[in-house]
Structure 1
Amino acid sequence: MISYHHQHKRSQLPSAPRRRTSTGPQFLEPHHTIVDVGLDEATIMNYPKMLYSEAKQRKSDSTATSCSICLGDYKSSDVLRVLPDCEHVFHLKCIDPWLRLHPTCPLCRTSPIPTPLSTPLAEVVPLATRRD
C-alpha cells in the first residue's frame, strides 16, 4: 500500500519544464522605434517659474498649498513651475521630471504645449442638403 501510494504520487508530480519553441518573433524587430512622449528640455525651461510666496501674492486663495505630485506643503522659499493654460503650480523638482515623461498636467491632463488649430469638418466638407 505504501509502495502504491509512493508510485501513484510520483506519477502525478509535474514533469520538468520543457523548452518551448516558437515560430513567432520574440523581440522587437529592428524597424520598431521608441517614441519620446514627454516634452523636450527647451520647452520645459520656457515655462515660468516663481517662488511660492510670489504665487501666493498673485493668486491669493486660488493658489494650491501643496504639490500634488509629492504631496508636500509649499514653503515660501520653494521654487514652483507654472504650467501655461491651466496655470497649475508644482515644485520645480517634481514637475520637470514629470513633463519629461508626460506631455500633460498631472492634475487636469491639459497639454501645456499649444496644439494646432483644428479645422471644423463642415468647412472642409460641406454638409449635404436635402432636396424634396
Structure 2
Amino acid sequence: MSRFAVLATAFCAILASVSGSPVATNETVTLEKRITHTGRGTWYEVGLGACGYNDIDSSYIVAISHEIYNNGGNCNQYMRIENTANGAVAYGQTRDECMGCDATAIDLSPSLFQALGADLGEGVLSLSWHFMSKDWKP
C-alpha cells in the first residue's frame, strides 16, 4: 500500500472520530431530580379546582396534598402514577389541591382511578407516583 493511501486512511479515521465528538457549548443544562413517592390514592368528583380550572370527571385529573401544592407551583404538571397492586400505569395532570391528603397521598378523577385498573367501589389504592418534567405532556 502506498504512503498516500495510509495517510488518507489515517486522516479519514481522525476526521470521523472528531465529527462524532460532542460539541462544547456555553449552555448549562439542569436535570430535575425525580423522586418517586408511595402513598394512598382515592377518587373524587372534580370540578373547579384550586389551580383555577373547571375540569370534568372524564379527564385524568389529580389533586395533590396541600403540603406539596406549592402555592400552585405544581399546577398543570403531569404525574406518572402506578397502581402497585397490579402494575397499571396512567398519567394525570395536577389541577387541584387536596386539603385532607398527607404529603404522599393523592386524589384522582374517577376516570383516572379506573384507568389504573380499579373499580370505584374499591375507594382506595396503593400507588407510587412522581412528577414528570415541567414541560412533559402525554
Fold match, TM over 0.5?
no
Larger Rg over CA atoms: 1
Q: Where is the strand percentage greater, Structure 1 or Structure 2?
A: 2
Q: Where is the helix percentage greater, Structure 1 or Structure 2?
A: 1
TM range (shorter): under 0.3
TM-score (norm 1): 0.26
